A and B are shown apart, each in its own frame.
Chain A
Amino acid sequence: MDELKERLKKVIIQELHLDGVAPESISDSAPLFGGGLSLDSLDALQLAVAVEEHFGVRVADESEGKAAFASVDALASYITARQKSAGKSP
């Protein structure tokens, strides 16, 4: 799970163009939206695209996205659960 979280942070920084943000500065439990990263709804759509491209997991709708994008912890759990239910490993 820790490896997945580290990979997630790198994907978030790369895909959302968070230049100058270091992976270690993103807390596992801190809110991704409405927090220090200053992400907006367009970033949420971009993150949904990135999660599908990098992890093969499609965020079904807005309510699922809200829960999944709550934090790196939440997103890692969401990806792991969806991959397990689809029979994939991270």
Chain B
Amino acid sequence: MTPTLEQLIAHRPPFRFVDRVDACGDDRGSFLLTLATDDPRLQDGVLPPLLVLEGLLQATAAYSGLQGARQPESGMVVQLDNVVLVAAAHAGDTVHLTVSRTHALGPLVRFHAAARVGDRLLVEGELSVARSPRAAQ
């Protein structure tokens, strides 16, 4: 049975910045963050880039959890590289959060993550995660 976002991400609303799973493949996952005009996560009508980055971190957690569904695992982000905070998201936007696994060495996995609204890049960067297996729940 596919785990729910509540099972994959520890954060609860309004501190969760991933609303839906769009697609999940072997090396890439896509997630959606939809911002209604009255969304409590908005600050003066925008979601600042730093919170969009938080969305990417949560999307990475969700993707890792979905990939480890057969053998559940937890993980911790241990390094961010080449992060660029380009723009905020706005009320009415649907933000596409994409996570691609690029490298793995032992328990460490490197992801490229990007947040876009249409073709407009908001935030991009490389995330390194230290995985650790955990007991199935």
Give A contacts to B, CB under 8 Å. 41-42, 44-46, 48-49, 52, 59, 61-62, 65
Contacts and interface: CB of A to CB of B under 8 A. Distances in A.
Interface stretch (B35-43, B62-70, B91-99, B102-110): B102-110
Given A45-B108, A46-B81, A61-B105, 16 more contacts: A41-B105, A41-B106, A41-B107, A41-B108, A42-B108, A42-B128, A44-B105, A44-B108, A45-B110, A49-B102, A49-B103, A49-B110, A59-B105, A61-B104, A62-B105, A62-B106
Interface string B83-123: 00000000000000000001111111010000000000000
Main secondary structure of the interface of B (DSSP, over half): strand
A48 B79 CA distance: 15
Residue from A45, A52, A59, A62 with most neighbouring chain B CB atoms (10 Å): A45
A46 B81 CA distance: 10
Interface of B: 78-79, 81, 102-108, 110, 128
16 contacts: A41-B106, A41-B108, A42-B79, A42-B128, A44-B105, A44-B106, A44-B108, A45-B103, A45-B108, A48-B105, A49-B102, A49-B110, A59-B105, A62-B105, A62-B106, A65-B105
Contacts of B108: 41-42, 44-45
A45 B128 CA distance: 9
B39 to A, nearest CB: 36
A69 to B, nearest CB: 9
Nearest to A59: B105
Contacts of A42: 78-79, 108, 128
A65 B106 CA distance: 9
Nearest to B79: A42
A59 B104 CA distance: 9
Nearest to B107: A41
A74 to B, nearest CB: 16
Complex A-B, nearest 9 residue pairs according to Cβ-Cβ distance, in ascending order? A62-B106, A45-B108, A45-B105, A48-B105, A65-B105, A49-B103, A42-B79, A48-B103, A62-B105
